[in-house]
Structure 1
Amino acid sequence: MDDHEFHEERERLLARQTELATLAGGLAHEIRNPLSTIRMNLDLLCEDVEELNDPRQRRMQNKLERIRGECLHLEEILHAFMQFARAGELEARIDDLGSIVADFIEFYRPEAEQHGIEISPHLSSSLPPVRLDRSLMRQVLMNLTRNAQQAMPDGGLIELQTYTRDGRVYLEIIDTGPGMDADTRSQMFHAFHSTKTGGSGLGLPTVRKIIEAHGGTIDCESDIGRGTRFILALPMAEQPAPPEGAGRTPG
């Protein structure tokens, strides 16, 4: 296959993926609307039953509460799925990754403190610009830090580092949680795979999809008892060539 055929095949695959993502997002939206109506009516039913003291009515209330809980869980899964379906739709512009990370840390720090988690930033002051979608990158940061937070229910440390190496801009997110074994690491980016009760299994797959849509990569280093390190690498933004003659000293 020559370069022209390769690019044509790649464009066909991207178009097919975009079509599938659009269909999946539309389906999730159509499911969410009636599900919201069901949950709203369950809320009203629960309020009616709360006023009754008959043991049989209390059993009915317990059943309604379980159904309502399952509806909420389904809504959370649908929300996560819609995020996953839209993860490749970028509105990218040249931006400073360091400022995005710094802003996110200030936003997230109060929540971290409530869970006994210390945030330790080590951010380079001279990162080259990258082309990225600020909203989606914030989603990446939220997913990875929340993932680390849930792995450390008794508190711990989350370290965020940025630096440049070999023509790419790096972001590392490191936690002092229990770590993961090789089997868990090999499956964690698979859609709907989750080791957490009630999890959607779409958080890390969404992160990978967003990073890859930016032309970047994400890797994970982890061992049981030694914490977890996520390593994100993004290409530097291509800078426009200076106008011809720019920078010359007039003769």
Structure 2
Amino acid sequence: MNIRDPNMTQNPLDQVLDLNLWFIRLRWVACGVALVLVVLTIKVLHLLTEVTFWPLLGLIGLLAISNLVYTLFVKRRRFISHLREMQIVSDLVILTLMLHFSGGIENPLSFIYLFHVILSGILLEKKRCFAVVGLAFFLYTTLALTELYRVVPHYTLQIFPHALIEQHHTAPEASAPSPDREHDPAHSPEGEKPHHLHASHYPVYVSSMIILELFILTLTAYFITNIMDRLREEQQRTREERQRLEHVLQATGAGLLILDKQLRPIWFNEPIVQWFGAEITNRASVDETLREWIGYEDGVAAQTLRDGQIRSVEQERIDPEGHKQFFQVTVAPLIDPGGKIYQVVELIQDITEKKILEAEMIHAARVVTLGTMAAGIAHEVGNPLASMSTRLHLMTQKNDPEFLRQSVELIRKEIHRIERIVRGISQFGKPSQESWTLCRINQIISETVEMLRYHKSARQCQIHTQLDPNLPSTLGVRDQLKQAFINLGLNALEAMPRGGQLTITSGARKGNISIEFIDTGQGIEPEVLKKIFQPFYTTKEKGSGLGLFIVNHIIQAHGGRIDVETNPGEGTRFTVHLPIHRSRRVPNTGEK
């Protein structure tokens, strides 16, 4: 398994070295195969004469020695740019000599020329590939013509069919051995002389084989170079796309991690190295460090491997310096053409700075809210305190019992007013200890309705519900949502002092859960509608002005919003929009 950073790709020199080493390994295989064939052909099957054994063995040794020399060149990085051409040329020369000692153009292994043309098409440029074709054709033609005109002797390969003729020598001069018969095992110095008829000594056959060899070599080079040109173009496009993707990922600062079915990392990019770089010193530490991050069998990657769902979670870790880091991790499956999951990919984004900014913004918002609350408290509490102070001053000057009774009653009302304000403020500022859970909105609405039915404001009102039975869930703090729904329900009931109908509906619309509270009350005036969510604003005699302010705060904290539609004299519709919980990692809930 190759774990590497895509930004740390091999340089061109390393790629050339790898190709040369691959070619050298291939030549070692060729040495072994050639040795086996020579021993099998001469010593076991006796298809060649013994006289060819040592020349062939010497050529195999020459191939091995050249391979050692090329290996030394690679290690010392000498002649690297031309080493492939040197290997191909030396191979063609050695191949031609080996063919000469093993049947010449009659040897069926002469097709190995094609193998070198294919190799040159893969390893070399197009022009150099056709230069190899020219060299191979020249060597093949030289071998064929020198044997045809008996410049060099022809060695019979018995696997190729030969005809035997008997030749009677009438004169001693005519019995001089020919190069063919000199190496012919059937040659006898006396009597009738059997003689092989060799195809390599017939001009028609030789010329046909030369033309066929040229045609095959050229056609092979044409096809292989065109195929390789297309492959190189595709490789270049793939490289450009990969670089583009790397630049995009680098610009976003995102880390990319690919895991196999055993949750082993098989590929990751530079940000992963940066985040875990202080801990990645060897392969074992890579596995252990990343596997701790991945989460073993209970992590999101393992869950995605099992069910194929895309998940997005937040994870945190402590770096080697003891600093806490926050990450947004999105895990998606990689699916093969058969529809099976074979890998998962993790897109990891460092959101530590975002978390810090969010905390600062929350703190700033709290400071602003605190300022608003402080101003409201000073105003709302200051008024009854001023009224009580004035009344107490008057009580010290008047001894009228009726005036004293009225003053005590007024002071009691003002104290109750201050109590309501303080209660609302403590309810708003109380820190929530509940964890976010999976909330079933219909169940919360049903519990809300049961509480509203027994409220004194509901005595003359009817409450109806229209709930979607297939309503999806949302994530939130259950008690806070219930508190918001109760406040909206009470507001609707209090808006119908002479009786009416409250309708509560639920449904899913445009990716959100919508909950409507519809009353048939007096409606809200336009100038009042603009202020209903402001703290301490109320039109009720005993109201604190914090009810709808707290409701709006709760819904916004859950990622939702509240819309209000009203017609004075006809009624009001409050619509709460909450986000639908998607198929992601769900916290453990006790709710069924």
Report how far residue 130 of structure 1 moved. 0.8
Report how far residue 120 of structure 1 moved. 0.8
Question: How high is the sequence identity, in percent, across the aligned residues?
Answer: 29
* Cα distance between partner residues in 2 of 1:87 and 1:152: 33
Deviations along 1:215-237, one digit per CA (max 9) or x if unpaired, are 11111000112210001011112
Q: Out of 345, 361, 366, which is 1:13 matched to?
A: 361
Task: For 1:157-196, list aligned pairs within 5 A.
Answer: 157-196=501-540
* CA 87–193 in structure 1, closer or farther in 2 if over 3 Å, else same: farther
Partner of 1:248: none
AA matched with 1:13: M
- Which is bigger in relative contact order (C-alpha 8 A, separation at least 6)? 1
* CA 198–241 in structure 1, closer or farther in 2 if over 3 Å, else same: closer
Partner of 1:147: 491
Report how far residue 89 of structure 1 moved. 7.2
* Cα distance between partner residues in 2 of 1:60 and 1:205: 37
* CA 78–136 in structure 1, closer or farther in 2 if over 3 Å, else same: same
**SS state at 2:423 partner:** helix
* CA 114–174 in structure 1, closer or farther in 2 if over 3 Å, else same: closer
Report how far residue 7 of structure 1 moved. 6.3
Report how far residue 125 of structure 1 moved. 1.0
Q: Out of 555, 559, 581, which is 1:215 matched to?
A: 559
If the length of structure 2 is used for normalisation, what is the TM-score? 0.33
AA matched with 2:515: L
* CA 119–22 in structure 1, closer or farther in 2 if over 3 Å, else same: same
Aligned residues: 214
Indicate conservation of the 8 Å contact 1:191/1:201, yes or no. yes
* CA 168–112 in structure 1, closer or farther in 2 if over 3 Å, else same: farther
* CA 217–88 in structure 1, closer or farther in 2 if over 3 Å, else same: farther
Do residues 134 (structure 1) and 134 (structure 2) align?
Answer: no
Report how far residue 195 of structure 1 moved. 1.7
* Cα distance between partner residues in 2 of 1:87 and 1:159: 32
Report how far residue 11 of structure 1 moved. 3.0
**SS state at 1:196 partner:** coil
Which is higher, the Rg of structure 1 or of structure 2? 2
Indicate conservation of the 8 Å contact 1:115/1:153, yes or no. no
Do residues 234 (structure 1) and 586 (structure 2) align?
Answer: no
Indicate conservation of the 8 Å contact 1:21/1:85, yes or no. no
Indicate conservation of the 8 Å contact 1:115/1:154, yes or no. no
Uncovered stretches (5+) of structure 1, i.e. residues with no partner: 33-54, 243-251
Deviations along 1:73-108, one digit per CA (max 9) or x if unpaired, are 110111112223348876321110110101111222
Report how far residue 57 of structure 1 moved. 3.7
Deviations along 1:29-81, one digit per CA (max 9) or x if unpaired, are xxx9xxxxxxxxxxxxxxxxxxxxxx944432331121111111110111112
Report how far residue 124 of structure 1 moved. 1.1
Indicate conservation of the 8 Å contact 2:457/2:490, yes or no. no
Do residues 63 (structure 1) and 407 (structure 2) align?
Answer: yes
Indicate conservation of the 8 Å contact 1:88/1:213, yes or no. no
* Cα distance between partner residues in 1 of 2:487 and 2:435: 19
Partner of 1:72: 416
* Cα distance between partner residues in 2 of 1:65 and 1:106: 36
Task: For 1:60-139, list aligned pairs within 5 A.
Answer: 60-86=404-430, 91-111=435-455, 114-139=458-483
Deviations along 1:108-141, one digit per CA (max 9) or x if unpaired, are 2132675301001001111111112121112112
AA matched with 2:545: G
Report how far residue 20 of structure 1 moved. 6.8
AA matched with 2:426: M
* Cα distance between partner residues in 1 of 2:585 and 2:522: 48
* Cα distance between partner residues in 2 of 1:104 and 1:241: 28
Report how far residue 241 of structure 1 moved. 5.8
Indicate conservation of the 8 Å contact 1:170/1:234, yes or no. yes
* CA 70–113 in structure 1, closer or farther in 2 if over 3 Å, else same: closer
Uncovered stretches (5+) of structure 2, i.e. residues with no partner: 1-251, 254-350, 382-398, 587-592
Indicate conservation of the 8 Å contact 1:92/1:133, yes or no. yes
If the length of structure 1 is used for normalisation, what is the TM-score? 0.74
Partner of 2:174: none
Do residues 201 (structure 1) and 545 (structure 2) align?
Answer: yes
Indicate conservation of the 8 Å contact 1:88/1:210, yes or no. no
Indicate conservation of the 8 Å contact 2:457/2:497, yes or no. no
Partner of 1:249: none
**SS state at 1:187 partner:** coil
* Cα distance between partner residues in 2 of 1:241 and 1:146: 35
**SS state at 1:215 partner:** coil
* Cα distance between partner residues in 2 of 1:114 and 1:197: 19
**SS state at 1:206 partner:** helix
